[in-house]
Structure formats: structure tokens, C-alpha cells
Chains A and B, each alone.
Chain A
Amino acid sequence: MSEPLLEIVDLQVAFGPKKKPVTAVRGASLTIYPGQTVAIVGESGSGKSTTAHAVIDLLPGNGRVVGGAIRFEGRDITHVKKDEIIALRGSSIGLVPQDPLSNLNPLWKIGFQIREALVANGVASGAEAKARAAELLTEAGLPDAERRANQYPHEFSGGMRQRALIAMGLAARPKLLIADEPTSALDVTVQKQILDHLDGLTDELGVAVMLITHDLGLAAERADHLVVMYQGRVVESGPALDILQRPEHPYTQRLVSKAPSLASQRLSSERARAEVREQAVQTAGEIAAEVAQSSQELGEGRATVIEASNLTRVFALRGSVPWQSIDFKAVDDVSFSLRRGTTTAIVGESGSGKSTVARMVLGLLPPTSGTVTFDGVDVSTLKGKDLLRLRRQMQPIFQNPYGSLDPMYSIYRTIEEPLRTHKVGTSKEREAKIRDLLDKVALPSSVMRRFPNELSGGQRQRVAIARALALDPEVVICDEAVSALDVLVQAQILELLNDLQAELGLSYLFITHDLAVVRQIADDVLVMQDGKVIEQSSVSEVFDDPRESYTRKLLDAIPGGSITLGA
């Protein structure tokens, strides 16, 4: 039996001033053997990236190791000199960073940046390095590598950039590759391709991989050994399948039970969804009856609350010369309908036009052709008072919880804003309403005086939901509303959305790139690709019997979908 390649024993990492340190990692131990893939799983802030960065002494700012030991090939490297660590980097331990966009220097050609890695580690130089760089790119799965090596990062797609970074990480044939969330910024299908390729490559070269991810499904699928971290500690570790099938620590149990991608989730979530729908449709029916009676509300109380027909949006892109422009069809002839009290999901990868559809439905962007009707009324013809009424009855929740709340507004003012804009109630009544809304989204009323920068992503998203519900809308458009969140928080927000739908009879248009989430919240699905709807049916049909090969590809790419859990 071989010796361990990397041993981390009771590692402690602290940040901040010496007198008042903030501990980020408090006692993490793990072992990696040559050629093995070990995954560290945890939510943001769990210390997983910090642990990995401590290994190659890349802790940000004033971070430092305050306890424990890191041994590489039996040698203690915890407190060795800077130049010894530098000698290890690249040649013995490679790194594939998280964000492919910011980790490539935009001013240098890709080939040059790979050559840099080769020269710095003394692998090759001059013309030899040039040839080697092209080889490495081919190896990382980039076709036409010689031409590609002469291109700049902006000419690469996200997936191609990540391949270039993999080529760089493996340039000096390290024994250990640290992959820090290598694919979390990429589309699922690209993620699968890249991880498949990385798997093959590291197997072939006998490189051990330390894979850092927040996705339990992905970790279990790719790694032999799992390390689950929570609040700076390792809470559970062991063989991947074993952990997934018999999670023992309550945190791991929570992770396993909430992971949307795991197959076991399917039945229970479908059943729960059916219950939600039944209740929501009933409540929505009552609301529709009221709307039909009322002269205040916009619409006629139809069963189909939103109907989009033949929506098309063309953007003019700048051509090769200033006076030329190229027409780009972002959305091409999209039609769908949203039934009252149900959820229609629009699924697609980045660039598929799904968010453009959402913006057109919201009336933030006029369609080039086609119409959106809200309860029988054409949205694009609305002006003044009627438009205000529409705004009241249809509300959005956006993707980025960091961007969708005004940083200058307290939480109270944020939620109050729609009420003020529509001049609803006196200030006393508004305060009562805000307290009620915060209660609905399960936030303590003490957050009212706080500002968005003090809340986590999930909490901000709950504030955004409270703001969207302030005006008692009938329809809520969720544009990637959960994709920026950790798995557990995501599950929590989805549950909240489901509860609110059942309680208030809301109708959701749910835009997402993640098919795994769809099962928990949606009733009907539209799959979009390149601006066109390629498949449109109920959730169960799409999951059980996808008609299009693209849909099947999307389904296959859900990490961990193939893993069966015992019991």
C-alpha cells in the first residue's frame, strides 16, 4: 500500500488581527493518496476553499495557519520558507481556480500564459514550450489548439477558458491538482464535459485531485473519498457512496435530503408539488372570481393568467464596421401560457433567451413582434394607471440577491417602497404590512433596521420575495431566483415559494438553468435553446420521457442523477 500524498492534520486557519483573530478553519484533517480523487463538500463559509488554499500557501490577505500540520509526500510544508512553497506550486501541486474569467490575464494570449507556467517550472522553454503549450491545450480538449493558443481570453467561451486553466494547472505534471469549484460558473452540459475530461486526464496521468464543490451530487459522482465540512470543521468523511447512502452526521443528512439533483428526491418532491398545486389552484380560483367582479383590478379573471404568443426579440449587434449592424434573434417565436395557481418553468443554458422572455413578460423590454397578454389584456398597450395596475399584479424576483436590493435602503424602506409608490395605506398600516410580510418570509422583524450588506444571499432573496409580495400580486416572475444560493438555502427558498403559492394562490413563471430544481417547484416546462422553444410539456413528461435529445442531454448532465441511494 502506497504512502499518502497529502496529509492535513488538525489544520487551523485564522484571519484578521493577531489580537482578535477570526478562525475560518478549526481542525480539519484529511488524507489524499496518489492518483485518488478526494472531494471537499460544504456550503459557502464552511472553510473548504480556505483549507485548499492553505496547502499551497495562497491564503488571501492576512490569513495564516495557526495550528496543525500539512504534509506533502511525508514532508511537513506548514511553515517552510516561501521559496520552497513556490517550488512546489505548479510542479508538484497544480491549481484550477474557480472563476475562469478573472484568472486569465486579458492582455496576454492564452498560449503565452501556458508557456509561462512551463518556463516558470523549468519544464520547457523557447520553441519547445510553444509546441508543448499547444499539446497541453489539445490534451485539455480544445480542438485546433495551435490557432487557439494565439487567441486572447476574451475570444474564448467560459468552458474553453476553464479548459485553458486546466491545461495550465497540469502543465508541469503535478502530483496533486487542486480544483476549486472548477465548473460552478459554467452551464451544466459544459460542466459535465469538462469534468468528464478532467477525470479521464487525471486518471491517465495518475494525478491526485482535490475537488472542492458545494454540490454533494457532483462530489459523490466524481470522488472516491468525501470530506464534508461545516463551519470550519470536518463533520464527516469516508467513502463517497457510503456517506451518501448512510449519512450519520445531522449536517450530512440534511445535505443529502435537500440535494435537488439526487434521484431519491424525485418522488417525494413530485408528490409534495401536487399537493401545493391543488391548494394554489383552488385559492387562485377564488382570487380570479374576485378579479372578474372588481373594477379596480386589471383583467377578467381568466384561468390562463399569462399568455405569450409568438414572442420575438431582435437585438442589433455592432458589426465589423461602425455603420453596420447584425441582427441577433435572442428570442425566436416563443409561445406559452401560465395557468392560474401553477408554475411554468423556462429552462435553458446561458444565451438561450430565457431571461429576455422574462423581461418582455414584465414589460421591461418591448418585444420586436408577438404579444404578451395578462389576463386578457395586451401588456404592451398599457400606459399610465393601467400600467401601474399591471405592475401591482405582476412582480419579479431577480437572480442576483446582491444586485436586486438598493444598498442605500434599509430593509424596511426596501419593502415599503412598492407600498409608497402605489400610495397604499397610512404609515401605520404600512408598518403592520411589512411586519406581516417579514413574518411570511420567515425573517425576524429586527432585520427591518438593517441594510442589505448585512444579510446573506438567502436572506436578501427573502427580502426580495417580501418586496414582491407587498402589493399582493397574482403573478410572480422568478428570474433565476435560487441559482446564486447554496443548496440548503436554495431548498429553503423553494419551500418558501411553494408555501406562499399554496397560501396565496400565486402563479409563478420560473426561469432557471437548473432542471433539478424544476421538479420541486414547476408544473409545466419549456426547454429553450438558442432563442427557440424546443420542448414544452408537463414536468413529469419531461423527466420521464424527454422527446428531444437536447433535453436528454440536460437531464444527463445533472450531477449525481445516476447515483442510487440505498433505502
Chain B
Amino acid sequence: MTSEHRPGQERFVAPLEETPLKAVDSVDTSSPPTSMWSDAWRSLRRNPLFLVSAALILFLILVVAFPSLFTDENPRRCLLSENSLGAPRAGHPFGFDQQGCDVFARVVYGARASVTVGILTTLFVVVIGGILGALAGFYGGLLDAILSRVTDVFFAIPLVLAAIVGLQMLKNIRGDSPGFVLSVLPVILALAAFGWPQVMRIMRGAVLTVKNMEYIDAATSIGATRRRNLVRHVVPNALAPVIVVATVSLGIFIVAESTLSYLGLGLPSRVMSWGNDIAQAQNVVGTAPRVLFYPASALALTVLSFILLGDAVRDALDPKARKR
């Protein structure tokens, strides 16, 4: 077929000054270097979801660390006769509960127990689940079979139910009048003991994907041992999904702690916590609903912030959203 001189198909050569030739595959040295994490950070910084949740969480941490910055009231100074179910007034914006304690002060001071339980439980869960998941996924075979079945067994038990049983068994370590640490520790241990299966499964899945990547082969042919591969290459690359799950489950553990405290099994009533206060408030929910409302709202807001943070982090670490 001759198509030499059809209109629109004549021989055309672009003038060189309009299309300057660049060196083949030259390195772009203009942009600053970025790693996966700094990439993720950049996309997080622009995400309103992240900004809101991060601000809330920072505020919460401030409350936990320095409660006295936010209230001058002593939450333990309760005047049953004068203030029982007293209405809000100057200096006491949330009013008083049945015992005559300042509700605002109790919400502020109660944050410490809830957040401590949430963060420490998540830490334990990530360590236990992460290690078991990494071992199972990386070494496979019999070890994987055993660890995976054990995980399935733990996964099948409802978290709160299992924690109730666990707390009954841990009753003894508390003693009669435990301090803050001994009060919180059994709850953390009970929740961690049954909370890790989800992290284990996610870690195992991520490790299974990562261990087949070519850079693992490359490291092996450099002379890296299996253990070195696992620690240096596989685990760091498999961590992203675990971090996402951990952020979301932090909220879930705070809820679980409240549930346990509400049932009278979690933190002893001497320890101030949102769960305990909610449990106390149910007696008067008909007459003074605000006594229930404030600790419950604080709890909901905290959990929501962590879940939003988890969502934002997931978006940022999504490999599809990252530039190749």
C-alpha cells in the first residue's frame, strides 16, 4: 500500500529546538530524596482525616500526662451530702455524679487508665502476634501448621469472654489494695493474651508475600543467612499492614477495657477509668443522664480518633497509592 503523500501523512520531522534530546535514562537530581516512610508522611500531612485524628490524640496524650493542667478539682474529693447529682455550675462544667464527685475532673483523670490499657495492650499484641506471624510465615512447614492452628483456636474465643476468664485467673496477683500498675496489668495481660491472633494472621500473610520477593533471593545470594533475611528484609517490609491494624485495635482495646470495668471485672473501682464511671452512672441514667454522657463521649471520641488515624495510615501506606 502506498501512503506516501496522503494529506496529514507527509514526512514530518520536529525541529530539534522544540524537542531537545535528553541523555538516556538520566537521574533526576532535582527532587529531594524520599523513602517509603517519608512518602507516607507527606501524603498523611495533607490528609484532613489524619490532621483531625492526630490533633485529638495529641490532646489526649496531654490530658493523660498532665491532667492537672485541665482541672484544679480533685476528682477524689467527693462531697456526697452537698453535691450528689449536682447540676453544672461555675468551675464544675459537667456537674457532679451520685457520689458528689466532679464529673469533669473524673473524665480528665479517667483518661490515664483507659489510654494506658489501650497502648500497652496494643504493644504486647503487636510483639506477640508479630513474632509468631513472622516465624510462621517465614519458616512455613510444620511450624506454620502448628502456630496457625493455635492461632485459630485463640481466634475462635470471643475477646471479652476470654478476658473475663483470664481476669478471674489473674485475680491473685492483684492482692488486696493494688496500686495503679498492679490494677492495670491484669487487664492488659488478659486482653493481650487473647487479642494477638489478628495481628499474627496479618503478619503471616504479609511475610508470605514479602519472602517471595526477588530482593530476598538477592540477599541470599549475597550470603545473608535466613535469620538475617528475616530480621533485615522481611519484617521491615511486612510491618506496614500490622501498623494499620494496630492503630485500629488500640481503640478496640480501650472499649474492651471499659466493657470489663463496666462488668466489674476490669479495673478495681478505686482506679478512675471511663469504664468504671459508666458503670456507676447507669444507676442514675434516668434522673441525670449527663453523668453517663460525658465519660461515654470521651470514650467514643478516643476510639473514633484511633480508628480514623488507622484509616489515614492505611491510605498513606497503600502500595497502590504510592508512586512506583
Contact = CB atoms under 8 A, between A and B. Distances in A.
A450 B323 CA distance: 14
B297 interface: no
Nearest to B219: A417
B215 A403 contact: yes
A407 B36 contact: yes
B242 to A, nearest CB: 14
A238 B9 contact: yes
A118 B149 CA distance: 49
B13 A454 contact: no
Which of B13, B33, B214, B222 lies at the interface centre, i.e. has the most chain A CB atoms within 10 A of its CB? B222
Contacts, number: 156
Interface stretch (B17-25, B54-62, B273-281, B303-311): B17-25
Given A444-B27, A459-B25, A488-B24, A449 B8 contact: no
B34 A36 contact: no
A300 B36 CA distance: 45
A79 interface: no
Contact of A403 (B214, B233, B323): B214
B223 A418 contact: yes
A453 B19 contact: no
B7 A238 contact: no
B228 A421 contact: yes
A239 B236 contact: no
Number of chain A interface residues as a range: 35 or more
Q: Is the interface of A mostly helix, strand, loop or mixed?
A: mixed
B99 to A, nearest CB: 53
B221 interface: yes
B84 to A, nearest CB: 59
Interface string B232-271: 0100110000000000000000000000000000000000
Number of chain B interface residues as a range: 35 or more
B80 to A, nearest CB: 59
Contacts of A392: 223
A12 B113 CA distance: 60
Nearest to B225: A421
A446 B30 CA distance: 10
Nearest to A493: B25
Contacts of B25: 456, 458-459, 488-489, 492
Given A395-B221, A453-B39, 16 more contacts: A4-B8, A33-B3, A36-B1, A235-B19, A236-B14, A239-B4, A239-B11, A251-B19, A391-B221, A396-B217, A402-B324, A405-B215, A408-B233, A450-B34, A454-B28, A454-B33
Interface of A: 1, 4, 7, 29-31, 33, 36, 224-225, 230-231, 233-239, 242-243, 248-251, 254, 362-364, 387-388, 391-392, 394-396, 398-400, 402-408, 410, 417-418, 421-422, 443-444, 446-447, 449-451, 453-456, 458-459, 464, 467, 471, 488-489, 492
Interface of B: 1, 3-4, 6-14, 16, 18-19, 21-22, 24-25, 27-29, 31, 33-36, 39, 213-215, 217-224, 228, 233, 236-237, 322-324
